[in-house]
Amino acid sequence: MDIIRVEGGHAIGGSVPVSGAKNSALKLMAATLLAPGKTTLQNVPDISDVHVMGKVLKGMGATIDVLDEHTLEIDTSQVDSWEAPYELVAKMRASTAVMGPLLGRFHRAKIAMPGGCNLGARKIDMHILGLEALGVEFDTAHGYINANAPQGLRGTTVTLEFASVGATENLIMASVRAQGTTVIDNAAREPEIVDLANMLNEMGAKIVGAGTPVVTIEGVEELHPVTHRVVGDRIEAGTFIVAGALMADDRGVDVTGFCPIHLGMVLKKMELMGIDCERTDDGVHVSRAERIKPVDIQTLPFPGFPTDMQAQIMVLSALADGSSVITENIFENRFMFASELVRMGADIRIESHHAMIHGVKGFSGAQVTSPDLRGGAALVVAGLIADGTTEVSAIHHIKRGYEQFVEKLQALGAHVEHATVPDPVIY
């Protein structure tokens, strides 16, 4: 069994670069289906989710050349299948991102129901309702979503019930090849959506308003391949900023390679907690000289506090000088992380979608299990300040979204390592 072992109590300092954004790279890879030919993506993170998406594209006929560690050349000119295989796409929820491009290119798609972290219901009703408005007919059976637009895609106005990132992305990618103009009302505003729209516009699409609640797409006849650089990962950045807030030495920690504006609400809340977050041109310098102050937080779509930073901020709140409340409005099962942090000495009580957190003086190292991608990373970060040794298992979750996570922490001076231990004996 592979684990991450952390010896707590060692200060960290220096500079750490973040990789390209997982949540952007996966959608950009899917979008290459819309432009037959060779598209080059730079700053692609070397993580397991990217590897899975690469296999999905190859399974449909694409070829992928790795030009260097973070550059992929994806040739979709020979793609002749509109089916994404179950054994791959069931591994991650981003699988549904190929639906829009396949419908845009072939007017057909067959997609396995999505997998990924067990964070709760993965309803794709808004994807289906929005695409139906564009002329797509759906049939769901045997674990697959069958989509067909026999008359082609036609532009229309779609109002989303919730500012869903996945639904917004699928609608954008489908509608760039639709006839006429599509308007998405109550669109998600995340930076990764802006990155997607920027690449599609470079390909020849006509998208206006990405990053605002109303996105307008004028359909075009065809798109062409481009070279595009993936935006920096704001969630990875936020994770290292929390690590710096906990254990930075006199030098502080510089987290580079991302736009601080993309973490606006996170940085605001951390500053209210007594963390010094100095913004730079391409990152944040983080340090702390006082006790952590309690603060209440609720997760909301961008520009609100991101659900992907909820576990990390809970680590800070659990050590605050007072009580905090975290309200989770996005995923109902995201508090599974809290029970693992309690094993390390945190005082947390869950009531529905609220976490009541009473600050403690410190954590104790323990054996804990990564419940999901962000929760796993947060447990490693908690181990940095814990008394003794923390062992985090089920680290395959962490590898889905963090490139060289242990190595980057080691470069900052953390006493952390990958290790292999015997599987537990079950009688």
Which residues, other chains included, contact 401 with Cβ-Cβ below 8 Å and sequence gap of 6+?
A: 22, 45, 47, 49, 235, 236, 373, 374, 377
Going by C-alpha positions, the residue among 94, 120, 104 that lies closest to residue 28 is 94
Distances (CA, A) of 403 to 18, 46, 371: 9, 6, 18
Is 308 annotated to bind a ligand? Reply is yes
The yes-or-no answer on residue 117 being catalytic is yes
- 199: helix, coil or strand? helix
Is 348 annotated to bind a ligand? Reply is no
DSSP structural state of residue 424: P
- Reduced 3-state DSSP string for 62-74: CEEEEEECCEEEE
Residues 239, 241, 244, 245: what is their CA dihedral angle, to the nearest 10 degrees? -100
State which H helix or E strand residue 120 sits in: none
Is 154 annotated to bind a ligand? Reply is no
How many residues are listed for the chain in this entry?
Answer: 427
C-alpha to C-alpha distance for 415 and 376, rounded to whole angstroms: 17
Chain centroid to CA 93: 11
Could you say which of 50, 112, 117, 134 is catalytic? 117
Chain centroid to CA 57: 20
Q: What is the DSSP string of 341-406?
A: HHHTT-EEEEETTEEEEE--S--B--EEE--SHHHHHHHHHHHHHSBSEEEEE-THHHHTT-TTHH
Going by C-alpha positions, the residue among 306, 300, 310 that lies closest to residue 262 is 306
Sheet holding 275-280, edge to edge: 12-17, 248-256, 283-288, 275-280
**Burial of 143 from C-beta contacts in 10 A (0-12 / 13-18 / 19+):** exposed
DSSP structural state of residue 61: T
Is 347 annotated to bind a ligand? Reply is no
C-alpha to C-alpha distance for 227 and 224, rounded to whole angstroms: 10
- 292: helix, coil or strand? coil
State which H helix or E strand residue 171 sits in: helix 165-175
Is 201 annotated to bind a ligand? Reply is no
C-alpha to C-alpha distance for 53 and 234, rounded to whole angstroms: 21
**Residues in binding site for UDP-N-acetyl-alpha-D-glucosamine:** 93, 308, 330
Catalytic residue positions?
117
**Residues in binding site for phosphoenolpyruvate:** 22-23
**Residues in binding site:** 22-23, 93, 308, 330
